[in-house]
Chain A
Amino acid sequence: MSTQYFALPRLSLRFFPIWRRHWLVWKKIAAPSILGHLADPVIYMLGLGYGLGSLLPEMGGMSYMAFLAAGTVCYSTMNSASFEALYSGFARMHEQRTWEAILNTPVSLDDVVLSEILWAATKSLMSGTAVLAVIWILGLSNSLMSLWMIPLALLIGLAFAAIGLIMTALAPAYDFFMYYFTLVITPMMLLCGVFFPVTQLPESMQIVASGLPLTHAIDLARPLMNGAVPPQALLHIGVLLAYALIAFYVSLVLFRRRLSR
């Protein structure tokens, strides 16, 4: 690989007109998009919360529904960033050739990739906030600390958008994304403490889970939803930031290589 691919990102505010483009597209399909962001996680939360919750006295020192609430915000946030970075990002890069059009202007690939990450994180912010609103309305969290979930949704979005873009940079076609969802996203949903505490897992699986970004997101989210300061908060924030920054750089190197033809 040529050394020029490895240059550090050169960031500028030129990403902003691209972000505005995505926003303008989204505004045209806002209603179905919001419904899509809300329906799936809320139905899971209510179904499992009432169904399983009635059989369980409590989990992690709270009602099962309240336990699920924190996990639901995090995984819906993860999902919306991932879908945006993979499917929509691939459409813009490959199918619609939107990137090609943009790159013919005084905007660089670094700006384009940054705009993709920030836009996918924006989608996370919107879906996280929407789920949070439902949780507030249902009275499942009534602490002001839960407002910290909003910036957390953005941080989770940045991390998963950047990781997702690595897949987009490598993908030959849409089918490829099935590997990522089956082998990465679904296992994270089941191992990282969305539905039950990670401590229920065998030790070896706990070690795996402790390295995954969603675990750190949930370790921050669950105390916040219950009005407590998360233990080791800086560590968890650091891990999510590290995922976002390293994955951004890796995806940028891969995009530079892919688009150099």
Chain B
Amino acid sequence: MSAVIRATGLQKSYGGNRVVDGLDLSINRGECFGLLGPNGAGKTTTLRMLLGLIAPDAGTAMLLDLPVPQAAREARIRVGVVPQMDNLDPDFTVAENLLVYGRYFGMQDSEIEARIPSLLEFASLTSKRDAKVPTLSGGMKRRLTLARALVNDPDVIFLDEPTTGLDPQARHLIWQRLRELTQQGKTLLLTTHFMDEAERLCHRLGVMDNGKLISQGTPRELIEQNIEPQVVEVFGETSGHWVNEHAAKFAQRFEVSGESVFCYVQNAQPLVAHLQAQSELRYLHRPANLEDVFLKLTGREMRD
């Protein structure tokens, strides 16, 4: 398989602070790759370097077999971008936003006009064709931004937190559309904070922290490689006491967060049997998921 996005030893510092620190990344054609990481991990800076919007201090990046930022303009002709914050033109209607944006790619008006109906249909915005942007809901704006990113029929689509701030209905619709795009063979690179989003959409994931890619693989691989298969969450006012007395007996590894204890185990049966006898404690037994991996790799402390 050929890599459409390739980065080697990418590095970027702002004012002595190394935001991206020796990043190697390779994303294949047709793949949906998710970049996970806490705020300030360097995800957006990485995207901006891969798009050729900023120059790395060291390392090289290739986008669609073209070196960026040197040939970024040529590369971006075949790239679509959904930015983190909406930057639609508020003075324009839905259709005008698509028309004006297509012109930036050097497309003829007739060519863009011919694409608009299918773009609107894809974004479920056909009835909103002549609505002004400020009258749209957050989910509609997001879908219009996605449609706008597709105006040039790109091979690669960059999405920076595509569903942040959306309600569950709006989020599911976006997910469905992104899955359709991967089925069409498009390559997607997205950043997200949402583990369910990453797990559902992405073929492969990379976890970033402090500017480094600290783990990558399929969602299943990440879970298998990084964490015990079973999790038992224990909560209740006496959980603090319980941790000191019992946790180490049952769990290979456990973490305390407030009044909750997260126990990571190979076999949960002895622990569950024990907890059933503790009337003052409540517990939840579940398989390990990506969020557990994420918290293990990047820690539980706040980042802002």
Q: Is the interface of A mostly helix, strand, loop or mixed?
A: helix
B301 contacts chain A at the CB level, 8 A cutoff: no
With beta carbons under 8 angstroms apart, the residue of B54, B85, B105 that contacts A106 is B105
A258 contacts chain B at the CB level, 8 A cutoff: no
Closest to B145 in A: A101
Fill in one digit per residue for A119-151: 1 if any B CB lies within 8 Å of its CB, else 0. 000000000000000000000000000000000
Contact check, B104 vs A107: say whether CB atoms are below 8 A apart: yes
- Of the listed stretches B90-98, B135-143, B166-174, B183-191, chain A binds B90-98
Q: CA of A260 to CA of B53 in the docked complex: distance in angstroms?
A: 8
Contacts of A18 in B (CB 8 A): 104
Q: CA of A33 to CA of B90 in the docked complex: distance in angstroms?
A: 18
Contacts of A4 in B (CB 8 A): 55
Q: CA of A8 to CA of B81 in the docked complex: distance in angstroms?
A: 28
CB distance from A178 to the nearest CB of B (A): 25
Assess A25 versus B73: contact at CB under 8 Å? Given A104-B83, A107-B104: no
A100 contacts chain B at the CB level, 8 A cutoff: yes
With beta carbons under 8 angstroms apart, the residue of B74, B81, B85, B92 that contacts A104 is B81
Tell me the number of A-to-B contacts counted with CB atoms below 8 Å: 64
B204 contacts chain A at the CB level, 8 A cutoff: no
Contact check, B87 vs A96: say whether CB atoms are below 8 A apart: yes
B6 contacts chain A at the CB level, 8 A cutoff: no
Contacts of A103 in B (CB 8 A): 53
Contact check, A105 vs B87: say whether CB atoms are below 8 A apart: no
Q: CA of A89 to CA of B281 in the docked complex: distance in angstroms?
A: 60
With beta carbons under 8 angstroms apart, the residue of A97, A98, A106, A260 that contacts B76 is A106
Closest to B78 in A: A106
Contact check, A97 vs B85: say whether CB atoms are below 8 A apart: yes
Contact check, A104 vs B100: say whether CB atoms are below 8 A apart: no
Contact check, B87 vs A101: say whether CB atoms are below 8 A apart: yes
Closest to B86 in A: A97
Most A-side CB within 10 Å, residue of B55, B87, B106: B87
Contacts of B105 in A (CB 8 A): 105-106
Most B-side CB within 10 Å, residue of A25, A28, A101, A107: A101
Assess A97 versus B103: contact at CB under 8 Å? Given A104-B51, A104-B76, A104-B81: no
Contact check, A106 vs B14: say whether CB atoms are below 8 A apart: no
Q: CA of A102 to CA of B89 in the docked complex: distance in angstroms?
A: 11
B175 contacts chain A at the CB level, 8 A cutoff: no
Contacts of B283 in A (CB 8 A): none
Q: CA of A17 to CA of B99 in the docked complex: distance in angstroms?
A: 10
Assess A14 versus B106: contact at CB under 8 Å? Given A25-B92, A97-B85, A106-B74: yes
Contacts of B122 in A (CB 8 A): none
Closest to A17 in B: B103
Contact check, B96 vs A108: say whether CB atoms are below 8 A apart: no
CB distance from A3 to the nearest CB of B (A): 11
Q: CA of A103 to CA of B81 in the docked complex: distance in angstroms?
A: 10
Contacts of B51 in A (CB 8 A): 104
**3 pairs of A and B residues whose beta carbons are closest in the complex:** A97-B87, A17-B103, A105-B104
Residues of chain B touching chain A, judged by Cβ–Cβ distance below 8 Å, are 14, 51, 53-55, 73-74, 76-77, 79, 81, 83, 85-92, 96, 100-101, 103-106, 148, 152
Pairs across A and B, CB under 8 Å, 15 listed: A14-B104, A14-B106, A21-B89, A21-B103, A96-B89, A96-B90, A98-B89, A101-B148, A104-B76, A104-B81, A104-B83, A105-B101, A105-B152, A106-B106, A108-B73
Known pairs A25-B91, A107-B104 / 10 extra A-B pairs, C-beta < 8 Å: A17-B103, A21-B89, A25-B89, A96-B87, A101-B87, A103-B53, A104-B79, A106-B77, A106-B105, A260-B55
